[in-house]
Structure 1
């Protein structure tokens, strides 16, 4: 927080502490000059707080009708961030957070001066988020993980793997990330001596230990998460080179379906995983872009089989009952 912001908040707190303040006394409390005090008073007025001038010997100041408002100093861009951020929080999939986010939004509106309150209310009422069916996450687990990350403290975690097998993990937690409908923990696994990614909805319990750790150099965390979620769990690694700029290809792919990287200005490579190559071939057939299959070779065969099947369907459909539409 800047010195100016800190002084402004301190000024607002002092104005709330009693009815009237003489200008010199207020400046002395703030450790500033009466000239700087006047600038701070004007700053509060610009933010919408009703600071009134008091006539009399030496002059003074008081808060007006909204004088009991606690200090909340936000500009318009920050008000937009608050409104949108709390709306997003309400659909995050964290258990109980929707009600808390709504309650917090109401409090923020109540604690703001009238002009800013109107801006926040306008944003919050206009913005809505359609939930993507996020897998619920326990708020207590998220809080414990966040404490471990912030304090660089090891955690003990009970976890259920994809196959349903329970395990106990000793971890150094580094980051919690949301990707698509799920939340993930990126951590160093002390027993496996490697980086690991864990789904938060599979964590049964978390205990933050008293053992601190020194942060290790990390790989590129988002790339690691993409790989661990979209390729590592699957039987086949699929790499497709699209003959189009990355910005154009992004419009046809789900943001968390795989890793999309540029390959020069006019092409990009998409890496994902697959358990069912015929299904992947069908999905690729629906992408209206020129492409080249880099791997696996079995996917080339699956695409060829699909092509022959579709060609046969087209030929069989050109019988006497087929209606042909001709161009005028």
Structure 2
């Protein structure tokens, strides 16, 4: 049998990785009696961890949100930084990072007070605003859906498909997928009796029903393949540009959007992957340096189109002259609207 301290840490880890544990199952995992388990749970409570106990056939132990963060783990700022960072890491292009990041995010948010969750949402929205192509998904929606997938628990929500009024859905959630800088839920829709993929930014009021289900076989190789087959994900573009600026400068202004490879002291190659060509143009513009597009051809044409549009904006046309005549624009500064 492990000593008391290591066993308590093991108990805490188990409580953080599952929504609810039956007492007998938890005791078996720890290799102790249910009486010893109760003493260990009391010890966690003394340390400030909000472990709830429920009785009956569906009873057991659950680590619940508390009024404050449990002690000896993270302070509030560290918890917020971790939640925001894991949310960004879950959308990263690093292979295998998504699943680990969402598990870490779920553990932190599960015990986070509502006021800290709101701060996480505010920070994530502020970060997302730099890339308008990326829809906003709140941390509450993300973690609620992730926990339902983990616990094999039916989920209810309101969903607004493109061009349609919101409708109520009850589903058996399967997996979360991030593709094209968007979040998708792959689930079996109980109303339509078929598999569906749902964009999380169009999903509101997500709540678990408490009803468990036995997982069905997904009609695809994996969840990502299912979302792609549904036709809702645009193919990503891999954009490359030779930027005539030091690599350190480019990493500071655009490094979060892609990979920067140094060529020499005065130039580097910036590589970005996105389903939209808008934000690579904006990222390159933010650098404030000369650059050459290395590919793909559609990005060359897109940058040329943007450039021509900006050039036209500096040459007042008939509409601009009419605006001046009607006093809507300062004649000394055509770009200043009253």
Which TM-score applies when normalising by structure 1?
A: 0.40
Which TM-score applies when normalising by structure 2?
A: 0.39
